[in-house]
């Protein structure tokens, strides 16, 4: 390594690098440090984000339940239909029997509010499932109200003045008695994974949104993957090179950068207003998200087709394969990992999208679990948005829990993309 022309390359010179060389090394060190700092900073931000979401949300996976001794007295079920029985009344009676000393009207109302309104639905389900329990007394674990749940999770401050608390002193005393009687417990919140949306935080679940997301992405995948791959193959392998294909290429690249809400407007105009497809349904959502995902898939597909070495094409053509056989037998399988990666990344984008869905009415309160692509459905990010906007305090933890679920799906999809890329990487 000659540093200066005058001094001959001696051992001393090698041991004592010149000023210029030292400067070069210093610059290199600084660059490395800055790079490291950037990585550390971004990791810190991610860690902070994950920590705050997790610390807010982990409590949502437990829910408070109250044990009630419900007397399904036969005289309560005199109506023609079981559904018309006074189930809320049964819940109230069970509560009153636990605290017989409460006799004022106001006191009774405060007592009743400890139990979630969903308790009545649970009793109704039990009776409809097995009418034989009429006439018996059953011990039933029902959901506690959201305020009770918040108290047990330490999110309501007992030391606060009574007027400022959502739970009054007498309610706190009842809750303490229930806890000491082992009639108020936190249990794993299965309901969160099996229920649809609800306006009662203790009853709200993510399953409706997960299924909505699944159906929507199914449509998106079904449409955008074959169309995207076919377009990429045509443009890359078959299309003549002229100004039309250049124009198409420019437009595809533009489309990839178009704000997603535009696709929502387009979807509203074409799929709903012109085709008359039903609003708020996965089919429309899937169509709109396909429009959004297609450019991503086409661009990724073309890039991975380009990366297939021409020698493979020549080899196939050289033994007499037709153009189509060359593409299908050799080029496409080699490009497939890249295409799948692009598709998965596109799907992950689609999974996190709300803006275009706003325009087509998927940002909606939907309780029933969607059964098909024409049932109204919400999707995961929409559910997060709706819960974040709800007044009840207990929805805060549900929001964070839903974000955790969404992040889990996203991390899973992106890892799958990385795995596919690693697994099928350059085998020629």
Partner 1 sequence: MELTSNQTHPAFPTLLSGAVHQESEQTRSQAYTTGRKTVGTPFVDKPRMTCRDVEVYYGEKCAINKISIDVGCNEVLAMIGPSGCGKSTFLRCLNRMNDTVPSCRVVGSICLDETDIYHPSVDVVPLRAQVGMVFQKPNPFPKSIYDNVAYGPRIHGLTKNKVELDEIVETSLIKAGLWEEVKDRLLEPGTGLSGGQQQRLCIARAIAVSPEVILMDEPCSALDPIATARVEELIAELRTQFSIVIVTHAMQQAARVSQRTAYFHLGDLIEVGATDKIFTNPKHRLTEDYITGRFG
Partner 2 sequence: MKVTSILAAGALTLAITAPAMAARDYISIVGSSTVYPFATVVAEQFGKTTGSKTPKIESTGSGGGFKLFCGGVGVNFPDITNASRAIKPSEMKTCAENGVKDIIEVKIGYDGIVLANAKSAAPLQLTRKDIFLALAKDVPDPANPEKIIANPYKTWKEVNSSLPATKIEVLGPPPTSGTRDAFVELVMDAGCETFPSIKAMKKSDEKAFKAVCQTVREDGGYVEAGENDNLIVQKLQANPDAVGIFGFSFLDQNTDVIQGSIIEGEKPTFEEIAKGTYPVSRPLFFYVKKAHVDVIPGMKGYLAEFASEKAWGQDGYLADKGMIPMPQDERKKYGEVISSLKTMEMK
Interaction site with partner 2 (CB under 8 A): 83, 109, 113, 117-118, 120-121, 124, 156-157, 160, 163-166, 198-200, 215, 218-219, 221-222, 225-226, 272, 276-280, 283, 361, 363-368, 372-374, 376, 386, 388-393, 396
Closest CA to 362 of 386, 331, 390: 386
Q: Please state the closest distance from residue 319 (CB atom) to partner 1, in A.
A: 4
Using the rule CB under 8 A, is 319 a contact of partner 1?
yes
Binding partner 1 (rule: CB under 8 A), the pick from 62, 108, 183, 313 is 313
248 binds, options partner 2, partner 1, none, Cβ within 5 to 8 A by partner type: none
CA dist 369 and 196 (Å) reads 6
390 binds, options partner 2, partner 1, none, Cβ within 5 to 8 A by partner type: partner 2
Nearer to partner 1, 204 or 332 (CB): 332
CA dist 36 and 147 (Å) reads 46
Using the rule CB under 8 A, is 393 a contact of partner 1?
no
Using the rule CB under 8 A, is 55 a contact of partner 1?
no
Using the rule CB under 8 A, is 238 a contact of partner 1?
no
CA dist 387 and 214 (Å) reads 20
Q: Please state the closest distance from residue 243 (CB atom) to partner 1, in A.
A: 14
Report residue 391: phi and psi, to 5°. -70, -35
334 binds, options partner 2, partner 1, none, Cβ within 5 to 8 A by partner type: partner 1
Binding partner 1 (rule: CB under 8 A), the pick from 100, 240, 276, 391 is 240
Binding partner 1 (rule: CB under 8 A), the pick from 306, 318, 412, 418 is 318
CA distances from 131 to 70, 125, 139 (A): 14, 10, 16
Using the rule CB under 8 A, is 156 a contact of partner 1?
no
Which residues, at least 6 apart from 96, have a Cβ–Cβ distance to it below 8 Å? 102, 108, 111
Closest CA to 375 of 266, 212, 218, 194: 212
Per-residue burial over 246-276, b if 16 or more Cβ lie within 10 Å, else e, is eeeeeebeebbeeebeebbebbbeebbeeee
Among the listed ranges 41-49, 106-114, 320-328, 407-415, the one in contact with partner 1 (CB under 8 A) is 320-328
319 binds, options partner 2, partner 1, none, Cβ within 5 to 8 A by partner type: partner 1
Q: Please state the closest distance from residue 324 (CB atom) to partner 1, in A.
A: 10
Q: Count the neighbouring beta carbons within 10 Å of the beta carbon of residue 20.
A: 10
3-state secondary structure of 302: helix
Using the rule CB under 8 A, is 97 a contact of partner 1?
no
Listing DSSP states for 129-155 in one string gives H-GGGTTSEEEEEEEBPHHHHHHHTT-
Please answer whether residues 298 and 252 qualify as being in contact, where contact means their C-beta atoms are separated by less than 8 angstroms. Answer: yes
CA dist 250 and 243 (Å) reads 10
Q: Please state the closest distance from residue 163 (CB atom) to partner 2, in A.
A: 8
Nearer to partner 2, 153 or 393 (CB): 393
Report which DSSP code applies to 369.
P
Binding partner 1 (rule: CB under 8 A), the pick from 330, 358, 385, 390 is 330
Binding partner 1 (rule: CB under 8 A), the pick from 75, 130, 241, 425 is 241
CA dist 45 and 300 (Å) reads 29
Binding site for partner 1 (CB under 8 A): 240-241, 309, 311-322, 325, 329-330, 334, 427-428
């Amino acid at each position: 390594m000659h540093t200066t022309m005058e001094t001959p390359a001696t051992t001393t010179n090698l041991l004592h690098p010149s000023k210029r060389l030292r400067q070069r090394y210093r610059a290199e060190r600084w660059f490395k440090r800055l790079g490291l700092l950037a990585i550390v900073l971004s990791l810190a931000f991610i860690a902070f984000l994950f920590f705050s979401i997790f610390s807010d949300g982990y409590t949502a996976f437990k829910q408070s339940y109250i044990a009630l001794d419900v007397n399904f007295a036969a005289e309560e079920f005199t109506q023609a239909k079981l559904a018309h029985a006074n189930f809320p009344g049964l819940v109230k009676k069970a509560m009153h029997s636990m605290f017989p000393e409460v006799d004022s009207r106001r006191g009774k109302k405060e007592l009743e509010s400890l139990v979630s309104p969903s308790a009545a639905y649970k009793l109704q389900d039990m009776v409809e499932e097995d009418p034989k329990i009429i006439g018996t007394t059953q011990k039933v674990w029902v959901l506690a109200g959201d305020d009770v749940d918040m108290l047990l999770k330490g999110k309501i401050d007992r030391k606060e003045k009574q007027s400022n608390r959502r739970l009054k002193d007498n309610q706190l005393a009842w809750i303490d008695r229930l806890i000491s009687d082992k009639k108020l417990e936190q249990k794993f919140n299965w309901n969160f994974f099996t229920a649809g949306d609800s306006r009662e935080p203790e009853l709200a679940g993510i399953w409706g949104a997960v299924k909505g997301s699944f159906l929507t992405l199914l449509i998106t995948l079904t449409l955008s993957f074959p169309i995207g791959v076919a377009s990429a193959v045509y443009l890359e392998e078959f299309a003549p090179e002229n100004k039309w294909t250049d124009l198409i290429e420019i437009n595809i690249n533009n489309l990839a950068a178009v704000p997603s809400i535009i696709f929502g407007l387009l979807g509203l105009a074409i799929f709903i207003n012109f085709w008359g497809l039903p609003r708020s349904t996965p089919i429309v959502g899937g169509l709109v998200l396909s429009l959004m995902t297609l450019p991503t898939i086409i661009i990724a597909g073309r890039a991975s087709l380009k990366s297939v070495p021409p020698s493979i094409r020549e080899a196939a053509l050289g033994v007499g394969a037709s153009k189509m056989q060359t593409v299908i037998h050799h080029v496409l399988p080699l490009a497939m990992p890249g295409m799948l990666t692009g598709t998965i990344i596109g799907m992950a984008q689609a999974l996190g999208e709300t803006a275009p869905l706003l325009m087509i009415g998927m940002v909606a309160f939907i309780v029933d679990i969607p059964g098909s692509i024409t049932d109204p459905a919400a999707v995961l990010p929409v559910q997060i948005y709706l819960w974040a906007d709800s007044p009840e305090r207990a929805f805060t933890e549900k929001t964070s829990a839903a974000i955790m679920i969404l992040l889990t799906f996203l991390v899973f999809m992106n890892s799958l993309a990385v795995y596919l890329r690693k697994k099928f990487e350059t085998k020629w």
